Structure 1
Amino acid sequence: MQAGFSLSLAFESSTCKHHLWQLFMHSFLYNRKVRDTLIQLIFFAVICFGITYLALNAATNMRDAGLTSGFDFLFQRAGYDISYSLIHYDPKTSTHLMAWAAGMVNTIAFAVVAILLTTVMALCLAVMRLSQNFLLSKVSLCLVEYVRNVPILVHISVWYTLSLMLPSVRQAFNFGDVSFLSNRGLSIPSVEWNYGLLASLVFAALWTVLCFFVKKRVSTTGRRIISVLLMTIVLAVLASLVFTPVISFTAPKLVGFNFKHGWTLPPEFIMLIIAVSTYSAAHGSEVIRGSILAISKGQMEAGLALGVRPNIVMNKVIIPQALHSIIPPMTSIYINVLKAAALGSVVGFMDIMGTMGGSSLNITGQAIECIVIVMVSYGILNLILAAIMGRFNKAMQLKGR
Structure 2
Amino acid sequence: MSKIYVSIIIMVISFSCSRKQPELKLIDKQNFSRVIENKKVNLFTLKNKCGLTAQITNYGGRIVSLWIPDKNGNFDDIVLGYETLEPYLKPKGRYFGALIGRYANRIAKGRFTLNDSIYTLTVNNGANHLHGGKNGFHNVVWNANQLSDSELKLEYLSKDGDDGYPGNLNVTVIYKLTDTNELEINYTATTDKSTHVNLTNHSFFNLCGAGKGSINDHLLQINAAYYTPIDEEQIPTGKHKEVKNTAFDFTALKPIGKDIDANSQQLKFGSGYDHNYVLDGSGLRVAAKVIEPKSGRIMEVITDEPGLQFYGGNFLGGKNIGKGNLSYEYRTAFCLETQHFPDSPNQTSFPSTILNPDDEYNSTCIYKFTIK
| Larger radius of gyration between Structure 1 and Structure 2 | 1
Which protein is richer in strand relative to its size? Answer: 2
TM-score class normalised by the smaller sequence: under 0.3
Which protein is richer in helix relative to its size? Answer: 1
Structure scoring higher RCO (CA < 8 A, sep ≥ 6) equals 2
TM-score calculated relative to the size of structure 1: 0.24
TM-score calculated relative to the size of structure 2: 0.25
